[in-house]
C-alpha cells in the first residue's frame, strides 16, 4: 500500500492495520473489505479451512479496527456504572465483561467488552464508534476518555490449542487465566495485554499490543504455533463461528440506537436476549433504566430466537411465521450452516409472545439454483442454547496438547 | 446533624423565590407539610426589594409587575396578605432626544409625529396581538400537553387550542397568526409601521430580557409572550417593590402552614436507590421529604444541586445544552431629587420610559452582545417608582432601569473597570434625555448578569431560568423528559421559571408544579 502517513492520508479512505503486510503475505485470494476505515480480509485462503482453524486448532484474526477507548479517572467506576446496565461494582480489576449500553429510551446503542485494567481505568471495546456517546456521558464526571483505536493493534486468537501456543510463546501462567480474565505480560517494547475473550464461543484469547509490537507478536504466535496448524483467517470464517455461538452483531441483529431515526426500529437489551446484562436493582441510575423498568413491567415487543432450521437451505433473510402459510411474526437476521454443530441454524426475532424455547416457528426460505429462484417452507425449533457452546470455552486450565 | 425525627416533610422546596413560595402555598393549602429552604437571608430570590444605597431601595431585577398570574393572585389572596399596587395601567413613553416623545397606551399612540395611518395601524396591531394572547393564554395555566401519552386533560387542552386557533380566531386571523408567529419582530414592524420611534419601542419590548435582537428569529413570539404569559399587557407597580409581592406570597404560604427557613443553603439532594429523598444543607443539616421540589433553574438543579450522575446521559446532555445567556443589566440610581427629562412633566415620569430610538438601533445594540461586548448605545426601560411609592426612599427618588445589552460572557469579564465604563455609558445615555441628571445623582449601581448569577444563583444571569425561544418553550421546557415538572429522577420536581410557562414574576410555574404534584396518583 502506498504511504498514507501524515498529510498523505487523503489519498485513500482505506488504511492498513499494523498486521496488513503479515496478512497480505499469506493472502491467496485477494478478497478484502473496509471495516471502520481499515481494510481487512474476508478470506485469505479458504473459508472452510479457516473456520476449522477456529474450532480445531488456532485462528488469528485482526481486530485492530474494533473501536477501542480508554476511560480513566477518579470517577471511572461511577462513570461506567452509569453508562452500562451491568453492575460494574462487580467487575474487579483484571476482569473483562461483555455488555451492552443504551440510550435514555433503553434502546441498545452498541455491545462490546469492558476491561477493568486498573482501579481507576477501563478499556471499552465496541463494534461502532463511541466517542460522541462517551462525550455526552462524561458530563459531570471526573474522568478522561480517549479513543485508542489507532494506537492499539489487536488480534483475536481463537481455537482449542491457543492456550498451548501462548504457553509455548512464553506467556507463563496463561493456563491459569479464567474466562474473561485479563493479564499483562512482558514483551519486547513494553507490556502487552492478553484477555481470555472472543467472538467465537470457543476457547480463545485477545491480544492487545502497541502498533510497533504488532509484527513481532504475529511472528511470535506463528513461530510458537507452527506445529499446531495456526492460521490467519478472514471475516467470513468468523461470521460462521459467531452465528454458531449465537452472538449478535451491530447493524445485523440491532440497529444502533444513536443512528436509528425511524421510531421503533431500535431494540432493547431484553429484545436482544440480553436481559441478564441489565441490573435494574443495582441502586444507581444508568442509561435507559427508567425505560427498561417500564419494559420489564409491561413486556417487550420482540424476542430474540436461536433457531434450528429443518432441511439444508439456510433461511437467509426469511420471514418467520407462526405456522406454515400462517401469520408473519418475525424475521431471520443471521444464518449459517453450522459445520461443527452440524445444524442449519438461524438467529432472528419474533413478536411476543411467540418464540418460547422448544416451540416451533416456520420460515419461508427463498433460495436460488443456477439463477432460478425456489421457495421452501421450513420448520424451525427455538433452541435454548447456542448451537455451539463447548465446555472448553470456560474450562480452566484448558486442555494441554 | 439535626435529628431526623421532626425533619420529615411531604415537600421540600429548594429556593424561596416567587415560584417556590407560590408552590409552597398551594401545597400547604392542600394540607401538605411543606418546608421552603432559602439560601439567602431573605425570601423572594430575585423578586425582592433591596437597599442599594443607604436610604434608597429598589427591585433589583424585574421592577414592573406585568405577568403576575391572575389565578395565583386570586387563589392566594395576595391582596389580603398586603400586596398593594402603587401604580397600575402604567403607560409607556418612548423617549426622543429632541423631546418629541411617543406616548403609548392601550388606547393608542400619539406624539413623535406619528401619522394617523400609523396610529390606526398601532391600534389594529395591538388588538390583534391581544386576540392572539387571549387565544393562547389558557396554556399558561396548564402543564404542557403530553403529546406522546396524552391523558384526558391533555386531549381537552389540545382540542381547546385547536378550537381557539381555528374557530376562535377564524381562518383569516389563524393564517395571519401562523404567518407571524415564527417571524422576527423587525420585519413585522416594517410591514406594519413607518414611525421609527414606534418601531423602536415595540422592537425593544420584543427583546426585553432576552438574548435576541429584533431581527433574531422568534422575536415576535417573545413579544407575544409578554402578553400571553401576563396580564394582557397591563403594567403595574407593586408598592414596596418586588419584595412586597414575594412577601405577600410568603405570608400566604405560612398562613396555610408552610415553614420557611432562610439562610438555609441546600448543598445537595439525597438520592437513595435512584429516588430523591431529602436534602443536605451546607451546614450539614438534613431534611427528608417524599417530594423534593427545586425552584432553582434546571441547569443548577441537575448539574450542581443533584448532580449529573443521578440522571441518564441524554437528559444531562439536553440540560447542559439549555441556553440561558443573560444579557440584561440593571442600573439603579439614588436620586437626590427628580431630574428633568426634556419635554416631560414630573407627572409624566410615572410612565414606563423607553430608550430605544429605532428598531435598527436596538439591533445595533445587540450586535455588540453577539461578540461579547456591552452595547455602545444601550437600550433601556426606565422606571422611577418612588414617584408613586414613598416606601422606597426617605428622600429623593429611585431610578431603576433595565439595560440592554450587557452579555454575561463579557470579553475580559465584568471587572470593576468594565462595570464603571458601562455604568457611565448608561448614565450618559440617560443624560441625552435628561441633561441635568448627573446633578441629581447620589449614587449609582450597575447589576450585571454576572452579579445576578452570583446573588441569586440564576445561571448565566438569565432572568427566565432559560431563554424563551420556541425550542425552549411548552413541552420542550426545560427538556422533553421534564416538561411536566417531574424530573426524570423519582421524587424530584421543578417549580421555577425554567419550567413551563417560564419567567417573569408570574408564579404560574409554581402553581402548575403544585397542581401536578397534588394530582399524582389521581389519573
Burial class (CB in 10 A: 0-12, 13-18, 19+), A30: exposed
Strands (E), B38-111: 50-53, 56-58, 85-87, 92-94, 102-104, 109-111
Look at strands B492-494 and B286-294 and give their pairing. Answer: parallel
pLDDT at site A3: 77
DSSP reduced 3-state for A215: helix
For residues B493-514, give the mean pLDDT: 94
B261 Cα to chain A: minimum distance (Å): 30
pLDDT at site B521: 67
Q: Which residues of A touch B308 (CB under 8 A)?
A: 139-141
Q: Which residues of A touch B480 (CB under 8 A)?
A: none
Q: Which residues of A touch B268 (CB under 8 A)?
A: none
Asked if A283 reaches chain B (Cβ–Cβ under 8 Å), the answer is: yes
Task: Give the residue from chain A lying closest to B481, CA to CA.
Answer: A104
B277 Cα to chain A: minimum distance (Å): 14
pLDDT tens digits for range B209-259: 999 999 999 999 999 988 887 676 789 999 999 999 999 999 999 999 999
Domains in chain A: ranges and CATH: 14-66+150-244 (3.30.1360.120), 301-385 (2.40.30.110)
What is the largest distance, in Å, between two alpha-carbon atoms of chain A? Answer: 63
* Interchain CB distance below 8 Å, A289 and B316: no
Task: Give the residue from chain B lying closest to A142, CA to CA.
Answer: B309
CB-closest option in A75, A104, A290 to B313? A104
Q: How far apart are the first and last CA of chain A?
A: 39
Residue with cell 417530594: B291
C-alpha cell at A149: 483505536
B518 with B30: CB under 8 angstroms? yes
CA distances to B470, B492, B504 from B148, rounded to whole Å, are: 19, 21, 29
* Interchain CB distance below 8 Å, A141 and B308: yes
- The CATH number, out of the four listed (3.40.50.10240, 2.60.40.10, 3.40.50.300, 3.50.50.60), of the domain defined by the range B8-47+241-323+458-518: 3.50.50.60
pLDDT at site B6: 52
B303 Cα to chain A: minimum distance (Å): 7
Q: Which residues of B touch A76 (CB under 8 A)?
A: none
**Residues of chain B numbered 282-341 and touching chain A (CB < 8 Å):** 303, 307-317, 320
pLDDT at site B5: 42
What is the radius of gyration, based on Cα positions, of chain A?
21
B39 with B320: CB under 8 angstroms? no
pLDDT tens digits for range B385-412: 999 999 999 999 999 999 999 999 999 9
A134 Cα to chain B: minimum distance (Å): 9
Phi first, then psi: what are they for B430, rounded to 5°? -65, -35
pLDDT tens digits for range B261-285: 999 999 999 999 999 999 999 999 9
What is the rounded distance in angstroms from the CA atom of residue B219 to the CA atom of residue B202? 11
Rounded to 10 degrees, the C-alpha dihedral B500/B504/B507/B508 comes to -30
CB-closest option in B310, B314, B320 to A104? B314
CB-closest option in A75, A133, A140 to B316? A140
* Interchain CB distance below 8 Å, B274 and A288: no
Percent of chain B with pLDDT over 90: 91
CB-closest option in B274, B308, B488 to A140? B308
B479 Cα to chain A: minimum distance (Å): 13
| pLDDT above 70: residue B1 | no
Residue with cell 393562547: B136
Q: Which residues of B touch A285 (CB under 8 A)?
A: 274, 309-312, 489
pLDDT at site A1: 59
CB-closest option in A83, A283, A285 to B311? A285
Among candidate residues A36, A40, A31, the one with its CA nearest the CA of residue A62? A40
Which residue blocks in B14-115 are alpha helix, DSSP H? Answer: 18-29, 70-75
* Interchain CB distance below 8 Å, A139 and B317: yes
A107 with A268: CB under 8 angstroms? yes
CB-closest option in B310, B315, B320 to A104? B315
* Interchain CB distance below 8 Å, A285 and B320: no
For residues B1-10, give the mean pLDDT: 61
What are the residues facing A265 on neighbouring strands? none
* Interchain CB distance below 8 Å, A286 and B488: no
What is the rounded distance in angstroms from the CA atom of residue B428 to the CA atom of residue A364? 84
B334 with B393: CB under 8 angstroms? yes
Task: Give the residue from chain B lying closest to A283, CA to CA.
Answer: B273
Asked if A136 reaches chain B (Cβ–Cβ under 8 Å), the answer is: yes
What are the residues facing A96 on neighbouring strands? A115
pLDDT at site A101: 98
Considering the entire predicted model, what is its pTM? 0.94
Q: Which residues of A touch B270 (CB under 8 A)?
A: none
B59 with B395: CB under 8 angstroms? no
Task: Give the residue from chain B lying closest to A105, CA to CA.
Answer: B314
B320 Cα to chain A: minimum distance (Å): 8
C-alpha cell at A188: 519486547
Asked if A290 reaches chain B (Cβ–Cβ under 8 Å), the answer is: yes
* Interchain CB distance below 8 Å, A139 and B316: yes
Q: Which residues of B touch A75 (CB under 8 A)?
A: 309
For residues B436-460, give the mean pLDDT: 96
Asked if B176 reaches chain A (Cβ–Cβ under 8 Å), the answer is: no
pLDDT at site B415: 97
A59 Cα to chain B: minimum distance (Å): 39
DSSP reduced 3-state for B124: helix
For residues B422-440, give the mean pLDDT: 97
C-alpha cell at A204: 480463545
Asked if A294 reaches chain B (Cβ–Cβ under 8 Å), the answer is: no
* Interchain CB distance below 8 Å, B314 and A287: yes
pLDDT tens by residue, chain A, 401 residues: 567 778 887 888 889 999 999 999 999 999 999 999 999 999 999 999 999 999 999 999 999 999 999 999 999 999 999 999 999 999 999 999 999 999 999 999 999 999 999 999 999 999 999 999 999 999 999 999 999 999 999 999 999 999 999 999 999 999 999 999 999 999 999 999 999 999 999 999 999 999 999 999 999 999 999 999 999 999 999 999 999 999 999 999 999 999 999 999 999 999 999 999 999 999 999 999 999 999 999 999 999 999 999 999 999 999 999 999 999 999 999 999 999 999 999 999 999 999 999 999 999 999 999 999 999 999 999 999 999 999 999 999 999 98
* Interchain CB distance below 8 Å, B307 and A140: yes
CB-closest option in A75, A287, A290 to B313? A287
pLDDT at site A196: 98
What is the rounded distance in angstroms from the CA atom of residue A217 to the CA atom of residue A153? 10
* Interchain CB distance below 8 Å, A285 and B273: no
What are the residues facing B444 on neighbouring strands? B333
Domain ranges of chain B: 8-47+241-323+458-518
- Find out whether the peptide bond into A289 is cis, omega within 30 degrees of 0: no
* Interchain CB distance below 8 Å, B320 and A286: no
C-alpha cell at B517: 404534584
pLDDT tens digits for range B155-173: 999 999 999 999 999 999 9
For residues B51-61, give the mean pLDDT: 96
What is the radius of gyration, based on Cα positions, of chain B?
22
- Find out whether the peptide bond into A92 is cis, omega within 30 degrees of 0: no
| Most B CBs within 10 Å, among A73, A79, A80, A139, to test the B interface | A139
CB-closest option in A75, A139, A284 to B274? A284
Q: Which residues of A touch B488 (CB under 8 A)?
A: 104, 290
* Interchain CB distance below 8 Å, A285 and B316: no
CB-closest option in A141, A283, A285 to B312? A285
* Interchain CB distance below 8 Å, A136 and B314: yes
Burial class (CB in 10 A: 0-12, 13-18, 19+), A376: middle
Estimate the share of chain A in helix, then strand, then coil, as percent rounded to the nearest 5.
25, 35, 45
pLDDT at site B4: 44
B256 with B25: CB under 8 angstroms? yes
* Interchain CB distance below 8 Å, B314 and A286: no
Among candidate residues B125, B99, B144, B137, the one with its CA nearest the CA of residue B205? B125
pLDDT at site B227: 85
Amino acid at each position: 500500500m502506498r504511504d498514507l502517513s501524515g498529510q498523505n492520508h487523503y489519498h485513500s479512505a482505506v488504511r492498513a492495520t499494523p498486521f496488513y503486510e503479515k496478512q497480505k503475505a499469506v493472502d491467496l485470494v485477494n478478497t478484502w473489505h473496509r471495516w471502520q476505515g481499515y481494510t481487512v480480509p474476508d478470506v485469505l485462503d479458504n473459508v472452510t479451512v479457516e473456520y476449522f482453524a477456529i474450532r480445531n486448532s488456532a485462528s488469528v484474526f485482526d481486530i485492530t479496527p474494533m473501536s477501542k477507548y480508554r476511560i480513566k479517572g477518579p470517577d471511572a467506576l461511577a462513570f461506567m456504572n452509569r453508562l452500562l446496565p451491568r453492575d460494574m461494582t462487580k467487575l474487579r480489576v483484571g476482569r473483562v465483561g461483555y455488555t451492552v449500553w443504551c440510550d435514555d429510551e433503553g434502546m441498545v446503542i452498541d455491545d462490546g467488552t469492558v476491561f477493568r485494567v486498573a482501579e481507576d481505568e477501563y478499556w471499552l471495546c465496541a463494534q461502532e464508534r463511541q466517542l460522541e456517546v462517551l462525550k455526552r456521558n462524561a458530563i459531570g464526571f471526573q474522568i478522561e476518555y480517549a479513543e485508542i483505536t489507532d494506537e492499539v493493534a489487536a488480534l483475536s486468537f481463537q481455537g482449542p490449542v491457543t492456550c498451548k501456543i501462548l504457553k509455548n510463546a512464553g506467556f507463563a501462567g496463561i493456563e491459569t487465566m479464567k474466562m474473561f480474565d485479563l493479564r499483562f505480560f512482558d514483551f519486547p517494547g513494553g507490556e502487552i495485554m492478553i484477555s481470555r475473550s472472543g467472538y467465537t464461543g470457543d476457547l480463545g484469547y485477545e491480544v492487545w499490543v502497541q502498533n510497533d509490537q504488532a509484527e513481532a507478536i504475529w511472528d511470535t504466535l506463528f513461530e510458537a504455533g507452527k506445529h499446531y496448524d495456526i492460521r490467519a483467517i478472514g471475516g467470513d470464517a468468523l461470521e460462521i463461528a459467531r452465528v454458531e455461538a449465537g452472538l449478535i452483531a451491530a447493524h445485523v441483529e440491532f440497529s444502533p440506537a444513536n443512528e436509528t431515526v425511524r421510531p421503533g426500529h431500535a431494540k432493547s437489551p431484553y429484545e436482544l436476549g440480553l436481559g441478564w446484562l441489565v441490573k435494574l436493582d443495582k441502586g444507581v441510575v444508568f442509561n435507559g433504566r427508567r425505560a427498561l423498568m417500564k419494559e420489564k413491567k409491561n413486556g417487550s415487543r420482540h424476542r430474540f430466537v436461536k433457531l434450528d432450521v429443518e432441511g439444508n437451505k439456510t433461511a437467509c433473510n426469511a420471514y418467520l411465521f407462526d405456522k406454515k402459510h400462517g401469520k408473519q411474526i418475525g424475521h431471520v437476521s443471521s444464518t449459517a450452516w453450522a459445520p461443527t454443530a452440524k445444524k442449519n441454524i438461524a438467529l432472528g426475532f419474533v413478536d411476543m409472545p411467540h418464540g418460547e424455547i422448544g416451540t416451533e416457528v416456520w420460515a419461508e426460505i427463498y433460495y436460488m439454483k443456477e439463477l432460478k429462484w425456489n421457495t421452501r417452507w421450513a420448520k424451525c425449533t427455538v433452541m435454548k442454547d447456542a448451537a455451539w457452546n463447548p465446555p472448553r470455552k470456560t474450562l480452566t486450565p484448558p486442555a494441554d496438547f | 446533624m439535626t435529628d431526623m425525627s421532626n425533619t420529615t416533610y411531604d415537600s421540600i422546596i429548594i429556593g424561596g423565590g416567587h415560584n417556590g413560595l407560590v408552590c409552597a402555598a398551594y401545597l400547604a393549602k392542600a394540607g401538605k407539610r411543606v418546608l421552603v429552604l432559602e439560601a439567602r437571608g431573605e425570601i423572594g430570590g430575585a423578586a425582592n426589594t433591596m437597599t442599594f444605597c443607604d436610604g434608597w431601595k429598589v427591585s433589583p431585577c424585574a421592577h414592573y409587575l406585568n405577568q403576575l398570574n391572575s389565578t395565583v393572585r386570586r387563589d392566594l389572596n395576595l391582596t389580603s396578605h398586603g400586596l398593594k399596587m402603587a401604580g397600575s395601567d402604567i403607560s409607556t413613553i418612548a423617549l426622543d432626544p429632541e423631546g418629541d416623545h411617543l406616548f403609548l397606551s392601550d388606547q393608542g399612540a400619539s406624539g413623535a409625529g406619528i401619522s394617523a395611518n400609523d396610529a390606526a395601524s398601532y391600534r389594529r396591531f395591538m388588538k390583534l396581538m391581544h386576540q392572539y394572547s387571549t387565544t393562547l393564554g389558557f396554556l399558561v395555566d396548564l402543564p404542557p400537553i403530553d403529546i406522546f401519552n396524552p391523558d384526558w386533560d391533555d386531549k381537552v387542552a389540545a382540542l381547546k387550542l385547536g378550537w381557539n386557533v381555528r374557530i376562535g380566531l377564524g381562518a383569516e386571523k389563524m393564517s395571519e397568526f401562523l404567518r407571524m408567529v415564527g417571524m422576527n419582530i423587525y420585519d413585522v414592524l416594517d410591514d406594519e409601521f413607518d414611525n421609527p420611534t414606534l418601531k423602536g419601542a415595540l422592537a425593544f419590548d420584543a427583546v426585553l430580557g432576552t438574548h435576541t435582537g429584533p431581527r433574531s428569529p422568534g422575536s415576535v413570539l417573545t413579544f407575544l409572550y409578554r402578553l400571553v404569559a401576563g396580564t394582557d399587557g397591563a403594567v403595574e407597580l407593586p408598592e414596596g417593590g418586588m419584595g412586597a409581592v414575594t412577601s405577600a406570597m410568603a405570608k400566604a404560604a405560612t398562613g396555610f402552614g408552610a415553614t420557611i427557613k432562610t439562610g438555609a443553603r441546600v448543598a445537595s439532594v439525597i438520592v437513595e436507590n435512584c429516588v430523591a429523598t431529602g436534602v443536605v444543607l451546607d451546614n450539614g443539616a438534613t431534611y427528608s421529604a417524599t417530594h423534593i421540589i427545586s425552584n432553582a433553574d434546571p441547569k443548577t438543579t441537575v448539574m450542581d444541586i443533584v448532580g449529573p450522575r443521578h440522571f441518564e446521559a441524554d437528559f444531562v446532555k439536553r440540560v447542559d445544552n439549555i441556553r440561558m445567556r443573560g444579557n440584561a443589566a440593571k442600573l439603579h440610581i439614588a436620586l437626590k431629587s427628580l431630574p428633568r427629562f426634556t419635554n416631560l412633566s414630573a407627572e409624566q415620569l410615572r410612565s414606563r420610559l423607553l430608550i430605544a430610538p429605532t428598531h435598527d438601533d436596538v439591533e445595533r445594540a445587540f450586535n455588540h452582545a453577539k461578540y461579547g461586548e456591552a452595547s455602545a448605545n444601550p437600550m433601556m426601560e426606565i422606571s422611577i417608582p418612588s414617584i408613586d411609592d414613598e416606601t422606597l426612599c426617605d428622600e429623593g427618588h429611585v431610578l431603576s432601569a433595565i439595560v440592554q445589552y450587557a452579555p454575561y460572557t463579557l470579553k475580559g469579564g465584568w471587572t470593576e473597570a468594565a462595570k464603571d465604563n458601562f455604568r457611565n455609558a448608561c448614565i450618559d445615555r440617560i443624560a441625552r434625555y435628561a441633561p441635568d441628571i448627573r446633578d441629581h445623582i447620589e449614587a449609582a449601581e450597575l447589576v450585571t448578569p454576572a452579579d445576578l448569577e452570583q446573588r441569586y444563583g440564576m445561571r448565566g444571569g438569565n432572568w427566565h431560568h432559560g431563554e424563551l425561544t420556541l425550542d425552549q418553550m411548552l413541552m420542550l421546557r426545560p427538556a422533553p423528559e421534564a416538561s411536566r415538572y417531574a424530573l426524570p429522577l423519582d421524587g424530584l420536581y421543578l417549580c421555577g421559571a425554567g419550567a413551563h410557562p417560564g419567567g417573569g414574576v408570574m408564579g404560574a410555574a409554581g402553581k402548575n408544579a403544585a397542581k401536578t404534584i397534588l394530582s399524582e396518583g389521581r389519573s
